[in-house]
């Protein structure tokens, strides 16, 4: 005699398998329809701007802000200029690598706020964050900015197209090293 699974009485409050599957199908259909409305997307998505371009523009903008922080820190604490120069140069190289080709501004060109010229019409003037009063605090804040941007780039990797993902990974790794170098004691033996 073949073995059969014993039947279990269903409680009146237990949903049937069919109703669970129907509910799941309905929820999936609702999610698909909601995704197609376009109401939750960013304005750039509605304009048909390719994902890679949007991601590059955002990464380049963030890199320019980091350059501004380096410049502000060097201006507030000139004695840190020698220590910050190689790190700032690497960040400037990242700006060049991340720039969107054909964006109208040459890759790596200084932004309006770093060149001293007025921002373009329609662009609000952005004030850089104040630099802490002591060099140690300024280095810590700069390290935090590098670390935060590095972490944001790691998160962005998940949605980035292949070549951009590799670039973001490389730049994120460099930012993590910068954060370490900014908080380590120069000349200290490891």
* 37/35 Cα distance (integer angstroms): 6
Q: Please list the ranges in the chain whose pLDDT falls under 50.
A: 11-12, 14, 19-41, 43-44, 46, 106-123
- At 102 the pLDDT is 73
- At 185 the pLDDT is 77
- At 2 the pLDDT is 63
- At 66 the pLDDT is 97
- At 106 the pLDDT is 44
- At 21 the pLDDT is 42
- At 181 the pLDDT is 95
Percent of residues in the chain assigned helix, strand, coil, to nearest 5: 65, 0, 35
Work out the angle between the directed axes of helices 162-183 and 81-98 (0-180°, nearest 10).
170
Cβ–Cβ contacts within 10 Å for residue 65, how many?
A: 17
- Taking the whole predicted model, whether its pTM rises above 0.95 is answered as no
């Amino acid at each position: 005699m073949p073995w059969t699974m014993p039947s279990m009485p269903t409680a009146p409050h237990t949903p049937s398998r069919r109703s669970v599957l129907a509910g799941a199908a309905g929820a999936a259909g609702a999610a698909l329809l909601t995704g197609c409305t376009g109401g939750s997307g960013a304005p750039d998505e509605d304009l048909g701007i390719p994902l890679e371009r949007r991601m590059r523009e955002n990464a380049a903008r963030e890199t320019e802000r980091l350059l501004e922080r380096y410049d502000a820190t060097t201006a507030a604490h000139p004695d840190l200029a020698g220590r910050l120069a190689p790190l700032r140069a690497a960040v400037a190289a990242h700006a060049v690598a991340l720039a969107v080709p054909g964006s109208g501004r040459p890759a790596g060109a200084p932004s309006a706020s770093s060149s001293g010229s007025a921002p373009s019409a329609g662009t609000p003037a952005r004030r850089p964050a104040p630099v802490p009063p002591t060099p140690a605090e300024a280095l810590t804040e700069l390290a935090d900015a590098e670390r935060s941007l590095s972490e944001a780039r790691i998160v962005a990797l998940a949605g980035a197209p292949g070549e951009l993902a590799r670039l973001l990974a490389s730049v994120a790794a460099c930012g993590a090293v910068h954060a370490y170098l900014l908080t380590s004691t120069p000349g200290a033996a490891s």
